[in-house]
Structure 1
């Protein structure tokens, strides 16, 4: 027994050496790296692990018609690490080889069956148990599989009892140890990946911090500085930022670099802009496509789109003088940088919105809007950029429309439809801030949409309903906006089911006792009264508030 154990241990060393060598292969690493395997990945991984299984058979020891082997090491690891599909395929191949190999024919069938089980069972159990202890689980599976194999040998082989008594312990011990060692080798690949990812994240953060100041005022000089920071950071020869038709800025390691044309002429760049997909190019391509660059030897490059509001607005291009420079890590780093640049552009746009907000503060005295709302909205956008960029873009669009409407405050009347678009922009922003706490319902007569109303006459009422009615009440959440045809024009009704307005405030508004500089209902009441001869009708309901007025 101990002789068998020592021999098997020595042979396991060879298998571990082979597994370690394979682990350094770029092909194996790339296939193993994907969270969702492609057909190509499955084929590669199945071939590698079935190969380990076959090698385990050849490194086995013939013992009275049985093969004391380490075949199941690679198969069990394949099932745990890559899943039951890869493990199952590897197990089928290795078991088929076991049957046709001609060695140890006495136990070929039971061993083949156990190898198939070794490829499928551990993977399913690992998903079911959802444990982080791969090493203990792998060792446990090795014990179970080898025990199952011994049971089959006992049942199917006449001399099974004699064989089992000598080979059971060596098989269990060596296969269990082999599984632990191979899992350790593969875990090391993931640890290396995490280390590289950490270094790249640190580098990306450093580049982002260095480029951030230059996005506050976007121009050719600031973009050239951004290109320089990126080029130096990723070790490239050239970094270029383009729009959809022209090169905007670039930086080159070689001062003699010459950009022959500012227009985009390269097919790769056009492909990235048109498809919105990252393009990897190398000197292995039939057409290099660096027609716009003179004075530098370029062998590879990465072109990745810059996006704004779901639209490609240009690309970031980084070129290298070695084909080997375009690694998967470098690809994802540059892709991450392009996302950072896209976000920085959005943040630059927010800065412009902040300037608009400051102008709106001046208008607020006239239009009676609340500037605090604007800055709260900007903070909401900033937070969404990190967690939900798509929603952040929608917020930017709605806030832009909201601000534009306020800043372009018109003394003349506008169509109700236009006023309601302003209201909806405001409501969208507030719903993003407060979520399901607010529900706004619209009921607008079709013929009322073209009716003329003063600008900023409905939104302050909706804001009041949300701010002082809904948000100050635990149970209320609904605001109803109705515009109905009446005999002398159209009746506008804003109703909520919030806490209800204080009657003292209503009396102050009706008696003109409210400070004229105070933002609130009094301003709307005064404007409606001035234009239509009668101000707001304000009612405290059993649950909530109803405000209405007639436009004619």
Structure 2
């Protein structure tokens, strides 16, 4: 009978897991370690634990219940502090009810919350593990039974009670923790899948608009971009505007005066938000997406929505991703325009880094992962964003080797996703050199050259070895591949071709450090290529 009654209270756990995912996970606070997030966890799991007490089964002046599930899960999700606080509050509440096991149950609830927290600390996995949750609950429940026998008096009465409740509580509460974790993990998977689809949609729009945005935002290109966005989803219409007015509109949009009023209302706060207005006795809803050039608001994309319910969390995520991608493309256009107008080596070097083919290939690679491996797609989007953020923001001339390596890893993650096992890059940089100062983007063009002109020309691919070491008072850099190599004639004229990154790096080294730091290239046909150079060793103060 006790099994049936405890199982009936398990519906509370399933409902709690659903509510937890709604109020915590979907609000993107799941991985947040802020005080506000921990407070939400404490309040939520305390309520779950207390309800577990009240839905329990009274047996021999004691209560067999599912209270431990709330305390254990609180610790496993939020850490030791959250688990102990939930255990203290719900344990005190249990003690206040009374009964000859009241003190033991109150203490054991704190211990159970601590067990859950220790499981989180000791776990090497970022995600919640049902197996670890089960064994943690099993141990916590065994400790509870031991505490009851140790503290509760008379001992004979406590022993008789445990003969009745021990096995059902250990099994039911352990299974309850697993159920909570599984429901949460399923919600995470579903969220990632939907997020990946939204990311894929934003990437497809970015890919289709790339050629137009190379020409900048004007009335002609804006009209084409508005059409692409309109056809990507179920909107009433799409408009694009700036501080001067409406540049283009497509679909079943309203009059230009109405759209201008939407823009004027948007410019008051300039956030991702919906704007509501009444036109011809009907409510019209627009969602405005800002497009920035650096930190300056340049354009606004307005989506004429069919209903407010469509502006959910997933839609907001899509709009933010689209805003970042279009803002990046606009920044690329403005920088390329600056290159054409200015005879500055800094801009020329920057232009050499922003290669349209690389962006096209990266977008296609990420799109292919969106359905097969959503988490991998999300990682690649972050890496691509880091790559272009560092590429486009180039006020500094020098950075540390550690920062250069971070940028390089963002680039290599995308290249490894594209070429898989055909490409193997081995990086050997001692930790003690990581704070040494180097010119920005000094390694990536060399590795890109090895990949493009060496490794990928071999059907089987190959390896690239990157070495940085200290030689006396200088830093020695070496990038060596086992690609197709080149013959003597090509090697002699290697720096006469202005269209490759090698020449760019060589000129920068020459201007910064003199002829002694120019690139030294050794290559042999069908054997490989080695590029090396020296620069003075300088450490950030």
TM-score (norm 2): 0.63
Find out whether 1:280 has 2:289 as its counterpart. Answer: no
After superposition, the CA RMSD in angstroms is 4.5
CA contact (8 A) 1:280 1:302 kept: yes
Gaps of 5+ in 2: 360-382, 398-438, 448-466, 475-494, 522-532, 536-541
CA contact (8 A) 1:74 1:182 kept: no
Matches within 5 A, 1:384-463: 386-394=385-393, 433=445
- CA 1:467–1:393: 2 relative to 1, 3 Å: closer
| 2:87 aligned residue | 91
Aligned residue among 17, 22, 29 for 2:19: 22
Cα distance in 1, alignment partners of residues 130 and 280 from structure 2: 55
- CA 1:51–1:32: 2 relative to 1, 3 Å: farther
Find out whether 1:155 has 2:150 as its counterpart. Answer: yes
- Following superposition, the deviation at residue 129 of structure 1 comes to 2.4
- Following superposition, the deviation at residue 157 of structure 1 comes to 0.9
| 1:117 aligned residue | 111
Matches within 5 A, 1:340-379: 340-349=325-334, 352=337, 376-379=352-355
- CA 1:390–1:22: 2 relative to 1, 3 Å: closer
Kindly tell me the number of residue pairs found equivalent between the two proteins. 408
Cα distance in 1, alignment partners of residues 178 and 319 from structure 2: 36
Matches within 5 A, 1:98-247: 98-102=94-98, 105-131=99-125, 134-158=129-153, 159=155, 160-218=158-216, 219-247=218-246
Find out whether 1:56 has 2:56 as its counterpart. Answer: no
- CA 1:322–1:101: 2 relative to 1, 3 Å: farther
CA contact (8 A) 1:382 1:392 kept: no
- Following superposition, the deviation at residue 52 of structure 1 comes to 1.8
Tell me the secondary structure at the aligned position of residue 259 of structure 1. Answer: helix
- Following superposition, the deviation at residue 82 of structure 1 comes to 3.5
Cα-to-partner distance string for 1:19-77 (whole Å, 9 max, x where unaligned)? 355357x4354356542155554444333322221221122222222211111112222
CA contact (8 A) 2:285 2:307 kept: yes
CA contact (8 A) 2:71 2:116 kept: no
Cα distance in 2, alignment partners of residues 385 and 396 from structure 1: 20
Cα distance in 1, alignment partners of residues 258 and 131 from structure 2: 62
Cα distance in 2, alignment partners of residues 261 and 467 from structure 1: 50
Larger Rg: 1
Point out which structure has higher relative CO (alpha carbons under 8 A, 6+ apart).
Answer: 2
Cα-to-partner distance string for 1:528-547 (whole Å, 9 max, x where unaligned)? xxxxxxxxxxxxxxx999xx
- CA 1:378–1:39: 2 relative to 1, 3 Å: closer
Cα distance in 1, alignment partners of residues 290 and 69 from structure 2: 45
- CA 1:242–1:71: 2 relative to 1, 3 Å: same
Find out whether 1:315 has 2:300 as its counterpart. Answer: yes
Cα distance in 2, alignment partners of residues 320 and 298 from structure 1: 11
Find out whether 1:330 has 2:315 as its counterpart. Answer: yes
- CA 1:295–1:204: 2 relative to 1, 3 Å: farther
CA contact (8 A) 2:115 2:140 kept: no
Tell me the secondary structure at the aligned position of residue 31 of structure 2. Answer: coil
Tell me the secondary structure at the aligned position of residue 268 of structure 2. Answer: helix
- Following superposition, the deviation at residue 479 of structure 1 comes to 5.8
- CA 1:7–1:261: 2 relative to 1, 3 Å: closer
Gaps of 5+ in 1: 273-277, 283-287, 361-368, 399-426, 442-459, 483-493, 502-542, 546-552
CA contact (8 A) 1:91 1:115 kept: yes
CA contact (8 A) 2:293 2:327 kept: yes
- CA 1:237–1:117: 2 relative to 1, 3 Å: farther
Cα distance in 2, alignment partners of residues 438 and 21 from structure 1: 54
- Following superposition, the deviation at residue 98 of structure 1 comes to 0.8
- CA 1:200–1:498: 2 relative to 1, 3 Å: closer
- CA 1:373–1:281: 2 relative to 1, 3 Å: closer
CA contact (8 A) 1:78 1:86 kept: yes
Cα-to-partner distance string for 1:283-308 (whole Å, 9 max, x where unaligned)? xxxxx5x5xx9569445443333222
